[in-house]
Amino acid sequence: MSLLLTATRRLLVLRPRTTTTEQTLDRAIARRGGPAPVSRAVKRVAVVDERIVDGRRVVRLTPRQKPRGGHLIYTHGGCYTFPLIGAHWGILATLVRRAGITIDVPLYGLAPEHTATEAADWLETIYDDAVAEFGPVVSLAGDSAGGGLALAQAVRYRDSGRPAPRHVILISPWLDATLINPGAAAVAPLDHMLAVPGLVRAGRLWAGDLDPSDPLVSPLSSDLAGLPPIHIEQGDHDLFYADAEELHRRITRAGGRSDFRLTRGGFHVFVGAPWIPEARAALARIAAVLRQG
């Protein structure tokens, strides 16, 4: 565990937590703005294009250097209620540079105005378009809530008979909106970013008419057999640690391939802090997976 990781984690106590209570979440939603603009770091390594699909933006990042041929659909985190932030662009710039792949960034509708069902239908269109354009080299990835979306998509595409994603990459994924795993309560004192009450509220908003335990909202409750290879980057000072570990166990028991990479002392989505050597190592591992095709 590096000194930079330890120092950064300790400084997180100075940041306000939007998920401390249901009320803090609702106030933060009322104040939220739009997604962060594409960063200079992204523009240095990628040509940026946008298109509108069924009324919503999809940002495409195409490497300025010759692409290797793979394609990634990346869904961002934010409790399903907050937009993409600058740290997400940092992750994506690194993946473009190190993996040499084209990336689609779908800016899906956020709760409470939008729901998991709407997102699933819309993302299915994005995926079908990508498979039609790139063939069987499309991977899915996401962090936090976006990781939950990535896994839920993989399950949905398996069940609908669509071509499977090449890889599914999960960064500190939120896999169960109910957070009933006792391990979450055990880790809660170590996590200075997330809190259960606000997250459970966000999960209910995202579920809409569904039960929050529905596999579309909480993909950990899915049948996990027959999925493509899963790569998980997870820290043990993260409220979602126990569920990520449980996902790895269940996929393995179901006969699937799961590569679970645990970073000791890692906080929620530590991968988005590029000054930390552990973050750079995790991004290098992810890029290596994506370079496989």
The residues annotated as belonging to the active site are: 144
Axis-axis angle for helices 145-160, 116-134 (nearest 10): 70
Q: Cβ–Cβ contacts within 10 Å for residue 9, how many?
A: 23
Tokens at 75, concatenated: 């869904």
Q: Is the peptide bond before 67 cis (omega within 30 degrees of 0)?
A: no
Q: Which of 78, 84, 160, 94 is nearest to 127 (CA)?
A: 160
Provide the strand spans (E) within the chain: 46-53, 56-63, 71-75, 102-106, 138-143, 168-171, 230-235, 258-263
Q: Do strands 56-63 and 46-53 pair parallel, antiparallel, or not at all (unpaired)? A: antiparallel
Compute φ and ψ for 62, nearest 5 degrees. Answer: -110, 125
Q: Which residue has the tokens 């890029």?
A: 287
